[in-house]
Structure 1
Amino acid sequence: MTIKEGTGLAFDAWSLIGGLEVALDVDVLVGVYPDRDGPPGTPESVGALLAGHRTRAGAVASLRAALFDVRTGNDEVLALAGGGVPAGPGDEALAGPGWVPVGAVDLRDPLRAGRELDRLAGAGVKAVRLFPDEQGVEPGFPSVRHVARQAARLGLVVLTGGDVRRFWQPFAGLGARVVFLDTHFYHLGDFIVAAADEPGFHTSTRLLNSPDALEIVSAELGAERLLHGSRAPHYEPLVPLLRLATSGLTPDEIAAVAGGNARRLLS
């Protein structure tokens, strides 16, 4: 990607990204939103987008499961899986991504959500994704706490959307492993003080694009709490990739954020 400035100079993002590759992107979707324009969201097109951004594997969830039909959407994601989490950057060709299946549940139907969590865990799924904004669910709803408890009991990692300032609460005190996918750098202080008491709390890097956000999390909590996420194909994957590549983290920390931490959680 090259951005032309008014001075006639060119900004070449890829020259700054250098040789950085992402072993596992924790925030990938297939499917479409019916109420908005967007990319086709087919596995083939999403896979090509990831590969074009040097991403070897994606933790993928289904918008069909989130918005229409939980079971068929989850089954489509399960069918994509081709061997689980890659063990390291050299384990597969970069020509196409591997898929790590992430289940979804409908928080508006907590009884069926609990049964679906049991089914997913029985099928070997390691993580479940929550879509509270899309489903119109608030963090104080009993369904959210019910699903949080069930996921913790089953040992499932929770990937959740929503404002971290409110959605940390249903997971507190459970020993849950949670990745907050929508942590904004404006709310970084709230995440840090909540996560200080919850060693299982992690955050995606997608919206941590201020000059020092990644560095602050690393200094306060450790780089192991950061997971690279892009929300491909519904967000520009280059932005979090560029921010990570140009961060002040050490090479080992960058490698951990770019997939090592996600492999640890999802293996």
Structure 2
Amino acid sequence: MIVDVHAHVGDQPFDCEVGDLAVTSAVLDRHGIDCQLVSHTEAIFYDAVAGNRALAGLLPREPRLRGMVVIDPRRLASARRDLRDLLGAGFVGVKIHPPLAHVPIAAPEMRAALELVAEHDVPVLVHTWGEDLLDLAGVVAELPGLRAIAGHMGGPAWRLVPEAAARCDRLWFEPSLSRAPGGRVRWVRDRIGVDRLLFGTDATLTDPASALGAVEAARLPADELAAVLGGNARRLFRL
């Protein structure tokens, strides 16, 4: 079973084939993805509340999708309402994009947002890019019970994953990148094992072929491959 923990629906301000739910369904068909955890691009780029509600209307139309509630660390009252109303109604986790919210991971507002997520006992996918990967590990370590995923596992700073993993055992790593260096997934696996490695694609911004190729290139044993492609995510999200 393949579970993609990092994907999107809705229009994006980039030159790629997005927007129509039919595109998402076709991508799932083409790559054999059984379950995809998605956030709405309107929620990430513009209006978290409006985008979350738009996604709630789309989820019943594609049974392979599960929702991620986007929360804005600057608007925690709205975030609290969305978590209360949407979690359990097709939504299984939370997404936070610090750069687009203009709130660094180390900022007090981000800590407050992550504390709110911890209250609801669901995983949170946080966009990381650079040394903020270590900032995320530090904050999660200080918040008992919080389970977090480092989206893109630091992007160009992916070699910091072993240090981040050592700082906190409740931090998972999702390695999607549009242009990923060869051998990256295997390098991380050889240093931290596979239990905290997840599969994500950043679809439909990026075609899943890139992420699938990166995992295939790692040449993992069959049991480890199954864990990365879906088993770890099923346990983390209690799917």
TM-score higher than 0.5: yes
What's 2:29 paired with? Answer: 51
Classify the secondary structure of the residue corresponding to 1:60. Answer: strand
For residues 37 and 186 of structure 2, the distance between their equivalents in structure 1, rounded to whole angstroms, comes to 24
What's 2:143 paired with? Answer: 174
User: Percent identity among equivalent residues?
Assistant: 27
Q: CA deviation at 1:228?
A: 0.8
One-letter amino acid matched to 1:125: F
Q: TM-score, normalised by structure 2?
A: 0.86
What's 2:64 paired with? Answer: 98
RMSD of equivalent CA atoms: 2.4
- Give the gaps of 5 or more residues in structure 2: none
* Equivalent of residue 191 in structure 1, options 150, 161, 166: 161
Output one character per residue of 1:159-201: Cα deviation in whole Å (capped at 9) or x when no partner: 1113252141432321321111122564233222121231111
One-letter amino acid matched to 2:32: R
Q: Contact 1:218/1:225 (CA < 8 Å) preserved in 2?
A: no
Q: CA deviation at 1:27?
A: 1.0
Q: CA deviation at 1:82?
A: 5.0
One-letter amino acid matched to 2:141: A
- Give the gaps of 5 or more residues in structure 1: 1-21, 84-95
Rg larger in structure: 1
Shift in alpha-carbon separation, 1:82–1:266, aligned structure 2, 3 A:
farther
What's 1:68 paired with? Answer: 46
1:245 and 2:225 correspond: no
Q: TM-score, normalised by structure 1?
A: 0.78
One-letter amino acid matched to 1:239: S
Classify the secondary structure of the residue corresponding to 2:81. Answer: helix
Q: Contact 2:18/2:205 (CA < 8 Å) preserved in 1?
A: no
For residues 78 and 183 of structure 2, the distance between their equivalents in structure 1, rounded to whole angstroms, comes to 42
Classify the secondary structure of the residue corresponding to 1:32. Answer: coil
Deviates more, 1:224-233 or 1:162-171: 162-171
Classify the secondary structure of the residue corresponding to 2:233. Answer: helix
Q: CA deviation at 1:257?
A: 0.8
Count of aligned pairs between the two proteins: 233
One-letter amino acid matched to 2:42: R
For residues 141 and 120 of structure 1, the distance between their equivalents in structure 2, rounded to whole angstroms, comes to 26
For residues 243 and 104 of structure 1, the distance between their equivalents in structure 2, rounded to whole angstroms, comes to 27
Deviates more, 1:204-213 or 1:61-70: 204-213
Q: Contact 2:140/2:168 (CA < 8 Å) preserved in 1?
A: no
* Equivalent of residue 109 in structure 1, options 56, 75, 85: 75
1:204 and 2:174 correspond: yes
Deviates more, 1:37-46 or 1:202-211: 202-211
Output one character per residue of 1:218-251: Cα deviation in whole Å (capped at 9) or x when no partner: 2322202111111111013211101212313111
Shift in alpha-carbon separation, 1:105–1:185, aligned structure 2, 3 A:
closer
For residues 155 and 224 of structure 2, the distance between their equivalents in structure 1, rounded to whole angstroms, comes to 19
What's 1:30 paired with? Answer: 9
For residues 19 and 153 of structure 2, the distance between their equivalents in structure 1, rounded to whole angstroms, comes to 23
